[in-house]
Amino acid sequence: MDKLIINGGNRLHGEIPISGAKNAALPILCASLLTADDIELTNVPHLKDVQTMLTLLQQMGVTVKKDGNKIVMNGNTVHNFNAPYELVKTMRAAILVLCPLVARFGEAKVSLPGGCAIGSRPVEQHIKGLRALGAEVEIKAGYIYAKAKKLKGTRIVTDMITVTGTENLLMAATLAEGETVIKNAAREPEVTDLAHLLVKMGAKIEGIGTDRLVIHGVERLHGARHDVIPDRIETGTFLCAVAATGGDVTLTKTRDNILESALNKIREMGADISAGADWIRIKMEKRPRGVNFRTTEYPGFPTDMQAQFMAVNCLADEATHVIETIFENRFMHVQELNRLGARIKTEGNTAFISGVGKLVGAPVMATDLRASASLVIAGLAAQGETQVNRIYHLDRGYDRMEVKLTAVGADIKRVKQ
């Protein structure tokens, strides 16, 4: 397993290009199952999770042609409707093949994802919605078996706001007979990006970007071209890195209107932020001020940024608290940040951070993607050497992070093991 060695203390200066959004690309790749025509995608990030999803889709019979960050997919010869445990256990987003398969081919066998480092993360809302659309769904020996001659439009109100649940049911409804209403829908920009692709494919969707999606099912969908939106979490992660180390960095190929709540918190930390249509510049001249926040669904503060902001809070003078409301176990970075000298205590879903002003490098290990990112941020600001172990988590969701950080002056290198 590779690790990262970081010598902290360098200020960051220069430009970082932001990649396409992981959490938009993953459902969008699955949308290739909904049509027999070509789906041409640009701005697809180079990530382990994207590769895993492509492997799964190829096993099903989707053809994939890759050229840099461009991918052309064709679902004309799909013959296998099975998502095996071996793949789903490495990437929960594989559940996103369930609804497209049932909608177009009338059947699917998809492994239940099981638990995950950040929470139990059940998928019963995906199943409940698919049943409401008329599918017969059985759970046997760890697999979801779903069948439907033709899905039928219905009204769905999910018990909680679920991102991939909304995406799965939205894809199902595009090919269902009649009208489907999804209430309590997730409004994350990644859901909206998927909806925009589906509309280009011929889907009829109203209420895009709101919590009430109305879908008028069509007989078939056709090919389309689409440019994946910028990754707002990668953007926010680099903003946190600069807030922690100080410096002056322009993030290109991204935009500010998909991460307003996080940007407001970065400003509160004392950063000077300016932005244009496709760039965001951060200048940070002082030590960060600590910020309190509570994670919620979009447009609130994203759970996927909680760990990175907590790392910056450790460097502040003041005491802060952070409340995690989306996942029940998303504080796995706390013990590791404490190894770097942070003073964080947790009580239930609240973390209390006593700012310590400086961190000192140490070996650390991460258990999930965003936790790994928080340790990199802490390591960049810490005195001395930090080793971040188990970085396969980082490679799942960040496109060559150490290369991008080196280009702006960080002392960070990957050691192959």
Residues annotated within a binding site for UDP-N-acetyl-alpha-D-glucosamine: 92, 121-125, 304, 326
- Would you say 121 or 287 has its CB closer to ligand EPU? 121
CA distances from 223 to 75, 154, 178, 208 (A): 10, 26, 22, 20
Question: Binding site for phosphoenolpyruvate: which residues?
Answer: 22-23
DSSP strand E in 18-151: where?
A: 38-42, 63-67, 70-74, 82-83, 107-111, 136-140, 143-147
φ and ψ of 329, to 5 deg: -140, 45
Q: What is the DSSP string of 335-400?
A: HHHHHTT-EEEEETTEEEEE--S--B--EEE-SSHHHHHHHHHHHHHSBSEEEEE-THHHHHHSSS
Round to whole Å and give the CA distance between 311 and 334.
Answer: 9
- Would you say 23 or 180 has its CB closer to ligand EPU? 23
Residue where the block lists tokens 């970081």? 6
Rounded least distance, CB 7 to ligand EPU, Å: 27
Round to whole Å and give the CA distance between 91 and 201.
Answer: 26
Q: Where are the alpha helices (DSSP H) in 95-188?
A: 98-105, 124-132, 163-174
Rounded least distance, CB 324 to ligand EPU, Å: 10
Rounded least distance, CB 168 to ligand EPU, Å: 9
CA dihedral 47, 116, 198, 257 (to 10 degrees): -70
- Would you say 184 or 387 has its CB closer to ligand EPU? 184
- Would you say 369 or 405 has its CB closer to ligand EPU? 369
Rounded least distance, CB 182 to ligand EPU, Å: 13
Q: Is 314 a catalytic residue?
A: no
Residues that bind ligand EPU (CB under 6 A): 22-23, 26, 92-93, 119, 121-126, 160, 162-165, 190, 303-304, 326-327, 369-370, 397
Question: Binding site: which residues?
Answer: 22-23, 92, 121-125, 304, 326
Rounded least distance, CB 368 to ligand EPU, Å: 7
CA distances from 36 to 93, 157, 164, 176, 267 (A): 22, 30, 23, 17, 47
Rounded least distance, CB 339 to ligand EPU, Å: 22
- Would you say 214 or 373 has its CB closer to ligand EPU? 373
| Closest C-alpha among 188, 186, 195, 200 to residue 215 | 195
Round to whole Å and give the CA distance between 239 and 234.
Answer: 9
Catalytic residue among 30, 116, 240, 314: 116
- Would you say 122 or 142 has its CB closer to ligand EPU? 122
Cis preceding linkage at 299, omega within 30: yes
Q: Enumerate the active-site residues.
A: 116
